[in-house]
Structure formats: structure tokens, C-alpha cells
């Protein structure tokens, strides 16, 4: 009786699942209606839809993926099947996130995309779509990739509407019959990485923000001019009218000059203001405390040996940090390592359980300049950045004080935690540490006045805190040095071989090398030519991709997550682009890694901007 009762309850449960409104019979009906409307399915590719007609979320429907919680269709991949018919009925799949109909013969006209507000990846290339640019594009706020190339679309490209899509990374519109211009300054703030409008009927000048893309992105538009094309726009006739731009260019040049001067002045003013603020606060604290030798001052700012002894002044960024130079120097210290900047120690403070990391820096800029920069660095607070707790800036040396994080560095976790009897770093942890690092670096790059970068990012200065979060250490040390340095050539961006000017894109390249370490478990420290890890990975992936000749063998136990590993490898290759302008911003990289963590992978077409990798849109959420 009890068994029968349980069986009855289970039957009711499964019956409710199969026929509850959450399953949305509308999705089933939409797919079946779409399949029935096809004029041609030469390979009988969708036969499984008719045979397994119960529900796409519980049966194997070719190309269909459902959300496991809501049981709504979120992904439809029907590529290279030679299907012929209309795609209009698919607009009823309102929960779609990924749709790819590439390489078919769909001929719908005047598409409306507004019914797909959750769409992230939309691939309709190599079909027979006609009419104007699909309407409703402005409603796709989550859109990352849009490929309408190789169709029969006409009319103007709605640049203003596209400018309202903050996450757009790919825009491929080549081989259509689009007309009009590319004018839209609003798009310049977007993070588009993959752009192509070649072989259309576009006219006018290529906007400056688009000139960073190669010639191949614009060829085949005979009335398009300006960089990177060879055809100049001055005195050029477009559609029978002479394009006179000299006056506008002059005004633009003056405006740009004014902006540059203003920003430079603002940056200098910001540094002076911060330095003066720090100085005044420290002076007021000295006046309150008086000239006391060797006393323990517990305020936010303390003085180690009296107000007149500038060499021993300690600037404390953390309320109650209570650090004195004498205490640091007489405490027991353990050498953690030596580098190009100085020596790093683990210091256990006498008379307490506090453990800190102290970095002794030998060479640096003038003391006043250093104080100004350290005031800025001390104010950088983020969960994925190791905060500067205090510093002592004397005549002979600079002491920087940080929290000690006991879980070691990413370098030690990936490269040293190996072999029998040890637990290797699993894939989910590696991916989380990569995301944490990207998030911290993106936050650092968000500082504009003054502009901050890391300058020497390696797996050794990415440490793990007590909660298992990755945190970046040694931020801003480049700005303290007389001459730029780099700890390890393996992480050095190619442009630094010709110049010593560090930029955010140098950090992006270094982060790409860190990603390769996470994926391969290898490190090659010289970074010169054939011996670099970057060149090694590229060689292993050519002429055909063999990822398991690249991926760390200890990841074999997570082999079912290979798609995520491939996706992260694609992100790494983007970071390692030879030209700085071809590398994405860290904020974009962070979003892509989070997309991998949340959805399992990212669009494989991410590598289309890399000259040595082919365009592939078989992606997912």
C-alpha cells in the first residue's frame, strides 16, 4: 500500500512536470510549427522533432537546449543544414539566448527582433534574408554577438540604435547591400572587438573610432574613405556632392587640443591635491601627538620617532593598524623572496599575533613624489586587490606594509601543488581565480585621475585570501620607480621591447600569460622567441587544434568541462594579441570569463579578430 502510494505521488509529480504551464507548450508548438513550415530539409535533420514529440527539454531534439529550471528553450543551433523556409515563427521563442541559423537558405524579410529580449548570440549569416536591417535591435540589451553577414539586406545601418547596446562585442554585416554612412560618435564608447562591414554600398568617411579595425573590415565599399583605407576623404566626391571637411577638422583639432590640455591639468591637480591632503592630515596628527620619542600612537596616522624625524615617519592607511618602524625592524622576519624592486619578508610583530608582509624597496623616485603616489595607492580598496596598510619612507629605503595572506600565490597553487599526496587545483577553482584577478585588474584600470596600471602582473603576485578569493598584490609599484622594470620577461608585452611606456594593454597581455599558466600548468620564464609559453601553446594548437596536448594533465578529471577550458583559451589568445589596440579592455575580459562560469562557454567566434584563428560561431550562452 505504501509503495503504491509513493508510486502514485511520483506519477503525479512527473505528470505535473510534463504538463505544467512552466514547460510552456507554446515552445513545443512553435518548434513544431517551424519544422512543418520548412520548404526543404534535404538531410532530414529535424526528424527527431517529429519522432520525439513529447517535449524538447526531456527528449533529444536536434539543436535544441532548454533551461533546466524553467524548461524553456534558450538555445537553438541549426547550422549548415541547407534548410529552406521562413524564420518568422521562431520569434515566439521569447526566452532564446542563442540562435544560430548560419549557412541555410532562410529568406524572411524585414525581421523584428524585439521578441527576444534575452538574446545574447544571434547568428543569421549566409542565408537569403532580405529587406531592411532587422527592427527591434534596440530591445536586445544583453546582446553580445550579432552576425547578419552574407545576406540580401538593404537600407541604412541603424548606428544610433546599435550604440544603445552596451555589451556588444561582435558586429558582422559584410556582404549585404547596406547604404548610408557609418557616422555615430555614440558607438565609440562600446567595446566592439569584431567589426566588419565590407562588400556593401556604404559612403562617407570612416569614423576615427572605427579606424583601429583592419582594411578587410571596410573593403568593397567604393565610396567609403578614410583610415585604414588608402583613399583619402579630402575633396572626394560622394554621390555627386563634394565632401568638404577642412573646417570641421580644424574645429575638431582645436577641441581635442583643449580637452588634452584640460585633462593633463586635471591629473596634475589631482596628484597635488591628494599629496597636500595627506601631508596636512599627517602634520595635524603630529601636532596633536607632540614630539614624543618611541611612544605608541594609536591614531590613524602615527609617528615612530618624533615629529622632527621625517626619516622614520609611518603613514597608516588603516585605522588602528598601530605599526611603528622600530617594531618592524626588531620583529622576527622570514624571507619570502627577492625581486627587481626589493626584498619581501613575512614579519610577525613582537608582542602580538599580527603577521604582515613587508616589502623593502631600494630605488624609487623623490620622496615627495612617492608620498603622493602612495596616498593614491593607499586609497585603492577592492576585494580582489591587496590593500597597502602602511608605509615608511626614509632617506635610505621605502617599507611597504601589506596583510599576510596564508593561502599562497597562484603560482604556488598551480606549479608547486603537484605530485603524489597533494590535491591538485581543480578547474572550477582555477576559473574562479581567473575571474577574481580579471575583476581586480578591471577595477584598477577604472582609475582615471591619476591613471593606474599594475605594470608587473605575474602569477606570483596574485595571492589567495582566507575566503579563497584571488587578490592582486604590488599594485602601482611601477609609478614609484625612477625607471620602469619588469620582473619576468615571460609576461612582458611585445611593445615593451621597443619602448618603456606601460599601458593598460600591457597588463592585459600579462593577464593572458597568467591564463595560459592556469590552463597548461606550465611556465617558461625567458619569454624570448620560441621558448615563451605563448609560442609553445600556439605551436601545439597548429595546424589543427589538439587542446589536450596543451591543457594541464591534472585537469583530465574535469574533462567534461572541456568546453569551458576551450573558451578560456580563446580569451587568453585575445589578451595576447600582438598589437595593443587588438586587445580588449579588462572590464570586457571579466564579463567574458563570468559568462563562461555562468553558462559553460562563450562564443567561439571570439577569436575571429585573431589573424591565426578562424571565425567560428558555434557558441553558447
> What was the pLDDT predicted at 284?
45
Which residues neighbour 437 within 8 Å (Cβ) at sequence distance 6 or greater? 384, 410, 462, 470, 472, 511, 514
Query: Coil, helix or strand for 528?
Result: coil
CA 123 from centroid of its chain's CA atoms: 22
CA distance 434 to 511: 9
Give yes or no for residue 552 having a pLDDT over 50. Answer: yes
Residues 349-370, mean pLDDT to the nearest whole number: 71
Phi and psi of 336, rounded to 5°? -95, -30
> What long-range pairs does 272-276 form, CB within 8 A, spacing at least 24?
272/372, 274/372, 274/375, 274/376, 274/379, 275/368, 275/371, 275/372, 275/375
Q: What angle do CA 444, 518, 382 make, to 5 degrees?
A: 25
CA distance 93 to 24: 10
CA distance 135 to 144: 17
Report pLDDT digits (tens) over 467-512.
889 999 988 777 777 555 555 678 888 888 777 788 899 999 999 9
Residues 414-430, mean pLDDT to the nearest whole number: 77
CA distance 311 to 305: 9
> What was the pLDDT predicted at 590?
94
- pLDDT bin (cut points 50, 70, 90) of residue 124 is very high
CA distance 231 to 223: 9
In the β-sheet with 355-361, what is the strand arrangement from edge to edge?
A: 302-303, 313-316, 388-393, 398-403, 355-361, 342-348, 332-338
CA distance 47 to 146: 29
Give yes or no for residue 51 having a pLDDT over 90. Answer: no
Give yes or no for residue 411 having a pLDDT over 80. Answer: yes
Exposed, middle or buried: residue 382 (CB in 10 Å: 0-12, 13-18, 19+)? middle
Report pLDDT digits (tens) over 366-393.
666 677 777 788 888 899 999 888 887 7
Mean pLDDT score across all residues of the chain:
75
For residue 615, how many other CB atoms are within 10 A of its CB?
18
Give yes or no for residue 562 having a pLDDT over 80. Answer: yes
Report pLDDT digits (tens) over 240-282.
444 434 444 444 445 445 554 544 444 444 444 444 445 444 4
Which residues neighbour 394 within 8 Å (Cβ) at sequence distance 6 or greater? 311, 312, 325
> What was the pLDDT predicted at 336?
77
Q: Which residue has the higher pLDDT, 418 or 561?
A: 561
Which residues neighbour 420 within 8 Å (Cβ) at sequence distance 6 or greater? none
The DSSP line for 554-588 is GGGGGGGGHHHHHHHHHHHHHHT-SSGGGSPPHHH
With CA atoms as reference, report the closest residue to 99 among 123, 133, 130, 79: 123
Give yes or no for residue 9 having a pLDDT over 50. Answer: no
Give yes or no for residue 614 having a pLDDT over 80. Answer: no
Q: What's the DSSP call for residue 448?
A: B
Amino acid at each position: 500500500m505504501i509503495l503504491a502510494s509513493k508510486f502514485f505521488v511520483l506519477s503525479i509529480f512527473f505528470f505535473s512536470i510534463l504538463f505544467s504551464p512552466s514547460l510552456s507548450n507554446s515552445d513545443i508548438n512553435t518548434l513544431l510549427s517551424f519544422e512543418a513550415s520548412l520548404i526543404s530539409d534535404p538531410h532530414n535533420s529535424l526528424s527527431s522533432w517529429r519522432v520525439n514529440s513529447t517535449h524538447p527539454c526531456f527528449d533529444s531534439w536536434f539543436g535544441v537546449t532548454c533551461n533546466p529550471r524553467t524548461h524553456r528553450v534558450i538555445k537553438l543551433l541549426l547550422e549548415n543544414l541547407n534548410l529552406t523556409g521562413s524564420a518568422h515563427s521562431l520569434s515566439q521563442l521569447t526566452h532564446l539566448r542563442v540562435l544560430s541559423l548560419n549557412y541555410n537558405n532562410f529568406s524572411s524579410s524585414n525581421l523584428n527582433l524585439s521578441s527576444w529580449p534575452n538574446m545574447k548570440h544571434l547568428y543569421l549569416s549566409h542565408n537569403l534574408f532580405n529587406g531592411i536591417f532587422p527592427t527591434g535591435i534596440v530591445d536586445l540589451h544583453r546582446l553580445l554577438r550579432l552576425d547578419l553577414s552574407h545576406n540580401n539586406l538593404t537600407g541604412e545601418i541603424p548606428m544610433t540604435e546599435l550604440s544603445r547596446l552596451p555589451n556588444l562585442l561582435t558586429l558582422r554585416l559584410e556582404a549585404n547591400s547596406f547604404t548610408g554612412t557609418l557616422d555615430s560618435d555614440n558607438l565609440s564608447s562600446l567595446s566592439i572587438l569584431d567589426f566588419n562591414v565590407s562588400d556593401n554600398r556604404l559612403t562617407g568617411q570612416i569614423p576615427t573610432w572605427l579606424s583601429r579595425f583592419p582594411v578587410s573590415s571596410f573593403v568593397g565599399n567604393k565610396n567609403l574613405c578614410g583610415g585604414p583605407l588608402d583613399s583619402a576623404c579630402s575633396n572626394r566626391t560622394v554621390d555627386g556632392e563634394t565632401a568638404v571637411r577642412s573646417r570641421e577638422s580644424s574645429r575638431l583639432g582645436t577641441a581635442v587640443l583643449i580637452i588634452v590640455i584640460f585633462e593633463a591639468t586635471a591629473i596634475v591637480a589631482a596628484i597635488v591635491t591628494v599629496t597636500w591632503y595627506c601631508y596636512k592630515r599627517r602634520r595635524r596628527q603630529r601636532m596633536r601627538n607632540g614630539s614624543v620619542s618611541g611612544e605608541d600612537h594609536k591614531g590613524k596616522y602615527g609617528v615612530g620617532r618624533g615629529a622632527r624625524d621625517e626619516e622614520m615617519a609611518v603613514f597608516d592607511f588603516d585605522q588602528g593598524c598601530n605599526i611603528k618602524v622600530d617594531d618592524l625592524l626588531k620583529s622576527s622576519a622570514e624571507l619570502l623572496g627577492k625581486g627587481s624592486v626589493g626584498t619581501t619578508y613575512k614579519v610577525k610583530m613582537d608582542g602580538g599575533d599580527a603577521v604582515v608582509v613587508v616589502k623593502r624597496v631600494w630605488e624609487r623616485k623623490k620622496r615627495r613624489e612617492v608620498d603622493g603616489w602612495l596616498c593614491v595607492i593607499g586609497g585603492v580598496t577592492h576585494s580582489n586587490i591587496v590593500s597597502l596598510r602602511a608605509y615608511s619612507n626614509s632617506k635610505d629605503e621605502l617599507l611597504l606594509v601589506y596583510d599576510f595572506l596564508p593561502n599562497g600565490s597562484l603560482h604556488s597553487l598551480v606549479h608547486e601543488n603537484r605530485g603524489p599526496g597533494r590535491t591538485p587545483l581543480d578547474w572550477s577553482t582555477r576559473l574562479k581565480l581567473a575571474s577574481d584577478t580579471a575583476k581586480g585588474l578591471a577595477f584598477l584600470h577604472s582609475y582615471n585621475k591619476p591613471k593606474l596600471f599594475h605594470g608587473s602582473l605575474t602569477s606570483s603576485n596574485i595571492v589567495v585570501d582566507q575566503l579563497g578569493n584571488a587578490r592582486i598584490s604590488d599594485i602601482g609599484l611601477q609609478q614609484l620607480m625612477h625607471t620602469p622594470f619588469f620582473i619576468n620577461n615571460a609576461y612582458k608585452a611585445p611593445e615593451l621591447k621597443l619602448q618603456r611606456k606601460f599601458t593598460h594593454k600591457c597588463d592585459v597581455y600579462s593577464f593572458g600569460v597568467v591564463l595560459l599558466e592556469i590552463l597548461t600548468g606550465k611556465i617558461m620564464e625567458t619569454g624570448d622567441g620560441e621558448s615563451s609559453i605563448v609560442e609553445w601553446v600556439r605551436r601545439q594548437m597548429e595546424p589543427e587544434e589538439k587542446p589536450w596536448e596543451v591543457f594541464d594533465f591534472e585537469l583530465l578529471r574535469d574533462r567534461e568541462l572541456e568546453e569551458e577550458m576551450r573558451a578560456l583559451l580563446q580569451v587568453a589568445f585575445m589578451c595576447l594579441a600582438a598589437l595593443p589596440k587588438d586587445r580588449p579592455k579588462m572590464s570586457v575580459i571579466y564579463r567574458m570569463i563570468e559568462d563562461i562560469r555562468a553558462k559553460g562557454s562563450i562564443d567561439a567566434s571570439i577569436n575571429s579578430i585573431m589573424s591565426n584563428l578562424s571565425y567560428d560561431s558555434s557558441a553558447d550562452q
